[in-house]
């Protein structure tokens, strides 16, 4: 027998639960289907657990640096991985439980545990149940990409998900990939005490960033003893007893790195290959991302795609914003659009990198005439006082419109400070508005007006 609802939400990631809340609040009956853990990637295997672990790693690092601050610690700093993991599990688990409790108490919302798959345009199967609705919202997220690499199938490798189950310290963690997820794990495990090697096939780390940002992040990581192997063209794997050899045919250095553990962090892929999309006629692009318009409607009327699975964002805040856009259009008569969103994200190495808008390279690519302001963190009083002076601030301004195009803040508090710039970008006012603002002393933010007063043309 088919059970009919006003709406079906597939996936309890960062958009689905909030959307279920708004839809039921508007009087609709909703079926919310989740095949694994409520809260999806962010809560269970992404943001929350990694940032909790990073906090432990930061504490370890600061404890090691105690003497820099005039403190004495009686003996070496020890890291108890079981307790580190237990803390991570508690923070992540509390977040999931809170969300679960809210959803289970939500009037008019029925939760189905299981894998959802389209049978027809309006019908979705979950195990033995067949559910039907005129409105279907896909929030199925993504998973770690496991590409076809030489002999990868013959070794025990880890992904961001299995990595979070570890409660022992790898002797030598080899991380394949030089992107955001890879670097966060690299620094975290180095600080826990592992030997860490990062293997990247490209010429530099975090390649979407400006070259000077990549170089500064590399310096920060190398200064902590992380080995970085770039231009590793032909990456291959071989099990050597309990160890794994990673072939890294690089231009220089050894041709092989032997580690006790290998983490594969080479990107993400959308969870759209097992959803039966073809039966509903829903189009994807060649990478499997569901194609949507500016209001997140798919090519099939009555079906929307939100979050990582639509390829328009790859973050918790972009997924949540997708929920806001869909809810505003459907329920509030407010025609919010994805194209109103500005790129913004952070890389949570220490010090963090806060990013807003375009890089300098992107601004040039779009033919902008630009002004650039920079300042090393060694010239930021708050950073000096804190003893955390690595990194720099960089702001890119459009010389013609005077609007800020983008910023990179690699430095203590960079993930927070960047929001002052992001907000001015959303306000679409000239940079001079921010330049004349009087900020609090001593903060990292207080230097933003100063940097804007010292902008220089870049040819």
The residue ranges that bind ligand FAD (CB under 6 A) are 10-15, 33-37, 40-42, 46-47, 50-51, 115-116, 139-142, 160, 181, 271, 275, 307-309, 314-317, 319, 348
How far the first Cα of the chain sits from its last, in Å, is 68
Find out whether 66 and 72 touch, Cβ atoms under 8 Å.
yes
Among candidate residues 10, 49, 3, the one with its CA nearest the CA of residue 29: 3
Strands 116-118 and 123-126: antiparallel
Q: Please name the residue that has the structure tokens 């979050």.
A: 307
- Measured from the CB atom, is 95 or 197 closer to ligand FAD? 95
Closest approach, Cβ 144 to ligand FAD, in A, equals 7
- Measured from the CB atom, is 63 or 91 closer to ligand FAD? 91
Closest approach, Cβ 80 to ligand FAD, in A, equals 22
Stated as kind and residue range, the H or E segment containing 329 is helix 316-331
- Measured from the CB atom, is 294 or 446 closer to ligand FAD? 294
- Measured from the CB atom, is 10 or 407 closer to ligand FAD? 10
Q: Which ranges in 119-179 belong to alpha helices (H)?
A: 160-163
- Measured from the CB atom, is 41 or 194 closer to ligand FAD? 41
Find all residues with CB under 8 Å of 119, minimum gap 6, and list them: 125, 130, 276, 279
- Measured from the CB atom, is 178 or 373 closer to ligand FAD? 178
- Measured from the CB atom, is 39 or 373 closer to ligand FAD? 39
Can you read off the two tokens belonging to residue 101?
Answer: 């409790």
Can you read off the two tokens belonging to residue 309?
Answer: 């699975």
Closest approach, Cβ 12 to ligand FAD, in A, equals 5
Closest approach, Cβ 14 to ligand FAD, in A, equals 4
Find all residues with CB under 8 Å of 340, minimum gap 6, and list them: none
Closest approach, Cβ 1 to ligand FAD, in A, equals 21
Closest approach, Cβ 104 to ligand FAD, in A, equals 16
Angle at 81 between CA 77 and CA 82, to 5 degrees: 130
- Measured from the CB atom, is 182 or 248 closer to ligand FAD? 182
Closest approach, Cβ 436 to ligand FAD, in A, equals 32
Find all residues with CB under 8 Å of 315, minimum gap 6, and list them: 345
Find all residues with CB under 8 Å of 240, minimum gap 6, and list them: 258
Bridge partners (DSSP) listed for residue 354: 346, 409
Q: Supply the Cα-derived Rg of the chain in whole angstroms.
A: 24
Residue facing ligand FAD at closest CB distance:
141
For residues 135 and 19, what is the distance between their CA atoms, to the nearest angstrom?
12
Closest approach, Cβ 298 to ligand FAD, in A, equals 15
Closest approach, Cβ 399 to ligand FAD, in A, equals 31
For residues 116 and 9, what is the distance between their CA atoms, to the nearest angstrom?
10
- Measured from the CB atom, is 194 or 318 closer to ligand FAD? 318
């Amino acid at each position: 027998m088919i059970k009919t609802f006003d709406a079906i939400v597939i996936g309890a990631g960062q958009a689905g639960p909030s959307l279920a809340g708004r839809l039921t609040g508007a009087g609709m009956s909703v079926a919310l289907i989740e095949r694994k853990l409520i809260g999806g990637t962010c809560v269970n295997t992404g943001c929350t657990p990694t940032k909790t672990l990073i906090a432990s790693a930061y504490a370890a690092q600061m404890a090691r640096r105690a003497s820099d601050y005039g403190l004495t610690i009686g003996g070496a700093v020890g890291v108890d991985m079981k307790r580190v993991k237990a803390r991570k599990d508690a923070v992540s688990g509390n977040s999931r439980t809170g969300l679960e409790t809210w959803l289970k108490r939500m009037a008019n919302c029925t939760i189905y545990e299981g894998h959802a798959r389209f049978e027809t345009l309006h019908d979705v199967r979950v195990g033995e149940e067949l559910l039907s609705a005129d409105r279907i919202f896909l929030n199925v997220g993504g998973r770690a990409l496991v590409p076809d690499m030489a002999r990868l199938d013959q070794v025990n490798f880890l992904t961001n998900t299995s990595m979070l189950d570890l409660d022992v310290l790898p002797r030598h963690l080899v991380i394949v990939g030089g992107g955001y997820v890879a670097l966060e794990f690299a620094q975290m495990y180095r600080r826990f005490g592992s030997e860490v090697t990062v293997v990247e096939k490209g010429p530099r780390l975090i390649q979407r960033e400006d070259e000077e940002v990549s170089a500064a992040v590399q310096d920060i990581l190398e200064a902590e003893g992380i080995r970085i192997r770039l231009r590793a063209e032909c990456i291959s794997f071989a099990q050597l007893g309990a160890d794994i050899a990673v072939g890294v045919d690089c231009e220089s250095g050894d041709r092989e790195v032997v580690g006790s553990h290998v983490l594969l962090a080479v990107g993400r892929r959308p969870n759209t290959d097992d959803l039966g999309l073809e039966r509903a006629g829903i189009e994807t692009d060649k990478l499997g991302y569901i194609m949507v318009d500016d209001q997140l409607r798919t090519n099939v009327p009555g079906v929307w795609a939100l979050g990582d699975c639509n390829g328009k964002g790859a973050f918790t805040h972009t997924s949540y914003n997708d929920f806001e856009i869909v809810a505003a259009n459907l329920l509030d008569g407010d025609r919010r659009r994805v194209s109103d969103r500005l790129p913004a994200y952070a890389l949570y190495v220490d010090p963090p990198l806060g990013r807003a808008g375009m890089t300098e390279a992107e601004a040039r690519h779009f033919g902008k005439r630009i002004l650039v302001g920079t300042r090393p963190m060694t010239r930021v009083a708050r950073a000096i006082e804190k003893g955390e002076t690595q990194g720099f601030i960089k702001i890119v301004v459009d010389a013609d419109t005077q609007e800020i195009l983008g910023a990179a803040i690699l430095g203590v508090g960079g993930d927070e400070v960047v929001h002052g710039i992001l907000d001015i970008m959303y306000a679409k006012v000239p940079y001079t508005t921010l330049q004349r603002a009087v900020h609090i002393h001593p903060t990292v933010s207080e230097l933003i007006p100063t940097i804007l007063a010292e902008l220089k043309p870049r040819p």
